Amino acid sequence: MREIKFRAWDKETECYLYGIQDAYDTLSGHVKYDDGENACYDEDCFGGFLDNDRYVVEQFTGLKDKNGREIYEGDVLDCINGDINTSDKAFYPGRCMGQVGFVGASFIVWPRPVVDGHRMHYGCEALSDGLTKYTWENEIAAGESVVVGNVYANPELLEE
């Protein structure tokens, strides 16, 4: 069973707050910045983060990249994609950048492979632990991927 935890992107300070699920009466020591320092915040509970438009709340996938870094919604992965079938019916295996999301009760990645010098838009693929004997063609193994940034601090990673 995976650990349930969340982080929040603070639109005003442009940084992440981690451990917000443990926020309670603004007690210090529970919510942290990226560097592990205690964070200052005005919310009195987890619901305060969810209800405030200042924050974008993202869930931990329960998976780690090949360097042991936790993967959250909103992260950008440098990943190995399966064969990408484009409109010209050609297949392009290889590495790509992809954004982690949560759709239909599953964590997914929207891969953006570079084909002929252009970053392509492509449908989503399942984010898996990669521990099964066979990885499906439409899966991306977390353990073969690297978190290289996130969609808020590093939007350029997904640009053409």
Q: How would you write 97-143 as a 3-class SS string? A: EEEEEEECCEEEEEEECEECCEECCCCCEEEECCCCCCCCCCEEEHH
**Per-residue model confidence as pLDDT tens digits over 120-153:** 555 556 676 654 444 445 567 777 889 999 999 9
The range of the structural domain enclosing residue 94 comes to 70-158
Q: Which pLDDT belongs to residue 118?
A: 55
Query: Quick one: 80 and 153 in the same domain?
Result: yes
Q: Which pLDDT belongs to residue 138?
A: 58
Query: Quick one: 57 and 103 in the same domain?
Result: no
**What Cα–Cα distance (Å) separates residue 125 from each residue in 38, 83, 128, 135?**
35, 11, 9, 11
Query: Quick one: 48 and 90 in the same domain?
Result: no
Query: Quick one: 56 and 75 in the same domain?
Result: no
Angle at 139 between CA 94 and CA 118, to 5 degrees: 35
Query: Quick one: 132 and 152 in the same domain?
Result: yes
Task: Name the token pair of 144.
Answer: 């073969």
The mean of the pLDDT values for the chain is 77
**Per-residue model confidence as pLDDT tens digits over 43-88:** 778 888 899 999 999 999 999 999 999 999 999 998 876 544 444 4
Query: Would you say residue 1 lies in a domain?
Result: no
Total structural domains in the chain? Answer: 2
Query: Quick one: 31 and 93 in the same domain?
Result: no
Rounded CA separation 157/77 (Å): 9
pTM of the model: 0.79
Query: Quick one: 77 and 102 in the same domain?
Result: yes
Q: Which pLDDT belongs to residue 143?
A: 76
